[in-house]
Amino acid sequence: MTRLIVGPFNRVEGDLELTLDIAEGRVAQARVATTLYRGFEQILVGRLAADALTIAPRICGICSLSQSMAAAAALRGISGVQPPPNGVLAANIAHAAENIADHLTHFYLFFMPDFARASYAGEGWFAPVAARFTAVSGAAAQEVLPARARLLHVMGLIAGKWPHSLAIQPGGVTRALDLGEKMRLIAILSDFRAFLERSLFAAPLEQVAAIATPEQLADFSQGQGDFAAFLRVAESLRLETLGAVALPLISFGAYHSAQGALFPAGLFDPGASEARPLPIGAIGEDVAFSYMRDSAADPARSVTQPDADRENAYSWAKAPRLSGEPAETGAVARQAVAGDPLIRALIAQAGGTNVFVRVVARVIEIARLALAAEGWAREIRLKESFSEHGPAPLHGESIGMVEAARGALGHWLSVEKGVIQRYQIVAPTTWNFSPRDARGVPGPLEQALVGVDVGAAGAKAPVIQHVVRSFDPCMVCTAH
């Protein structure tokens, strides 16, 4: 048995360190450590409730709008204000733009460059993949960065600035779009569609969204485009066997409208045929292996007190559990809960999630969101209100629940006399990269790494990178 430390990780937001015990070339045991902590849950206490809209989104510069949405939802839960349809639509479009931008960054800049490593030089697919995806110098980045920047003009129009937008409020959005801006919004989304249909998919978005079976996906892999290139690499390296776990999949639901949520909240067990309602009250956080003092498990009751000297602790992240069990979250969970037939079929085939289905779910979601955003933009009624004015949140408790790109994000808020008494945040990567709990049960990534064949390469094995990155970690959110 040898012990390897993998870290620091690059092309990951924030700091991450893995400790791997290797026996006979395979990972026998893994520990995932989040190595940075800032203390938002401590900092927010004692401030005026509305100021959470300014402080809380700064947890993360990558998914700050999702953090804004969660903070606004938590405040809305207390004040009771209901945003008008325009406010919901505009927020949905901005949220979708951030989510898509995150997925694109992940696919092109964080995940695919690992297949351009020299260790794959012998593979038949290597030359074109390396030319396209090598970090920084690959051809794809030259197309993706401008397309992504152009998409994020949506943030300019709706949210003023991004990252750390301010326009998302409990009662809607602060910006009432005019006709010219609505037209620009539609034009931006249509330019973005052109990029997707040219570079990522080399096919119409509708065709991508209609892929319903693994066989149709296999047909798609014969086409042009970067997604097809990934599918061929995945088949050659059998990525569906890598980083496998069979945990409950959870989604907090996102993109609400009068017709309900585009991706509803729920719980999906691999092997089940239907999603179940999510038992929110069964969510708790365990700190047996975290640098934290013991407190209540329920985020609505717990108090965050760092303890750098805690015996056996190895991570600043807490360990979120659902009914005492770890759970996986992210695009794969969101699509499984929402009933995407392809994603459910791929999960059923493998008996759970893996590197392959995590990436497929993310890329397919880009197509679904781009289509939905076009519809939302057209639905905006310019003469109607974008924001409802409500009372200031004075007393009460609430949970702001949204889906960030990386999965379920919740803000547990308690307010008295208008002042924040408690603010607990459970972020997507807190679930996925959680440390062990008091029963010794490892978190999702810790489970996914067990059994991975690292061969002679040890800590340098690219497979480790694939497994870690398949979750699209955001370490700054994880321990906040």
Partner 1 sequence: MSVAETFYDVIRRQGITRRSFTKFCSLTAASMGLGATGAANVANALETKPRVPVIWMHGLECTCCSESFIRSAHPLVKDVVLSMISLDYDDTIMAAAGHQADAILKETREKYKGQYILAVEGNPPLNEDGMFCIDGGRPFVEKLKEMAADASAIIAWGACASWGCVQAAKPNPTQATPIDKVITNKPIIKVPGCPPIAEVMTGVVTFITTFGRLPELDRQGRPQMFYSQRIHDKCYRRPHFDAGQFVEQWDDQNAREGKCLYKMGCKGPTTYNACSTVRWNNGVSFPIQSGHGCIGCSEDGFWDKGPFYERLSNINHFGVESNADKIGLTAAAVVGVGIAAHAAVTALGRVTVKHDDKAPPKA
Residue pair 67/44 in contact by the 8 Å Cβ criterion? no
Structure tokens at 335: 């699509």
92 binds partner 1 (CB under 8 A): no
Tell me which residues in 446-465 interact with partner 1 (CB under 8 A).
459-460, 465
429 binds partner 1 (CB under 8 A): no
d(CA 151, CA 105): 12
Please say which residue, 7 or 375, places its beta carbon nearer to partner 1.
Answer: 7
d(CA 198, CA 225): 7
d(CA 73, CA 75): 5
Please say which residue, 214 or 418, places its beta carbon nearer to partner 1.
Answer: 418
Tell me which residues in 293-312 interact with partner 1 (CB under 8 A).
306, 308
Per the listing, tokens 């330019």 go with 191
Please say which residue, 258 or 383, places its beta carbon nearer to partner 1.
Answer: 383
Phi, psi of 41 (to 5 degrees): -65, -30
- Kindly state the smallest distance separating residue 211's Cβ from partner 1, in Å: 30
Please say which residue, 164 or 223, places its beta carbon nearer to partner 1.
Answer: 164
d(CA 305, CA 298): 15
Q: How many CB atoms lie within 10 A of CB 124?
A: 8
Per the listing, tokens 């893994």 go with 30
- The site string for partner 1 over 138-157 (x = CB under 8 A, - otherwise) reads ----x--xx-xx--xx-xxx
Please say which residue, 40 or 471, places its beta carbon nearer to partner 1.
Answer: 40
CB-based contacts of 260, cutoff 8 Å, min separation 6: none
Distances (CA, A) of 32 to 18, 41, 446: 5, 22, 6
Structure tokens at 402: 């949204």
Which of 385, 397, 438, 450 contacts partner 1 by CB under 8 A? 385
- Using DSSP, state whether 462 is helix, strand or coil: helix
- Kindly state the smallest distance separating residue 242's Cβ from partner 1, in Å: 17
- Strand ranges inside 355-436, DSSP E: 396-404, 407-416, 419-426
Number of residues lying near partner 1 (CB under 8 A): 83
Please say which residue, 185 or 361, places its beta carbon nearer to partner 1.
Answer: 185
Tell me which residues in 101-140 interact with partner 1 (CB under 8 A).
109, 113, 116, 134-137
- The site string for partner 1 over 234-273 (x = CB under 8 A, - otherwise) reads ----------------------------------------
Q: In what order do the strands lie in the sheet with 328-329?
A: 266-268, 249-251, 328-329
d(CA 307, CA 291): 5
- Using DSSP, state whether 178 is helix, strand or coil: coil
Residue pair 214/345 in contact by the 8 Å Cβ criterion? yes
Tell me which residues in 174-193 interact with partner 1 (CB under 8 A).
174-176
Tell me which residues in 34-73 interact with partner 1 (CB under 8 A).
35-40, 42-43, 45-48, 50-51, 53-55, 58-62, 64
Which of 119, 241, 257, 421 contacts partner 1 by CB under 8 A? 421
Tell me which residues in 158-177 interact with partner 1 (CB under 8 A).
158-167, 169, 171-176
201 binds partner 1 (CB under 8 A): no
395 binds partner 1 (CB under 8 A): no
Which residues sit opposite 30 in a β-bridge? 20
Please say which residue, 137 or 323, places its beta carbon nearer to partner 1.
Answer: 137
Please say which residue, 174 or 241, places its beta carbon nearer to partner 1.
Answer: 174
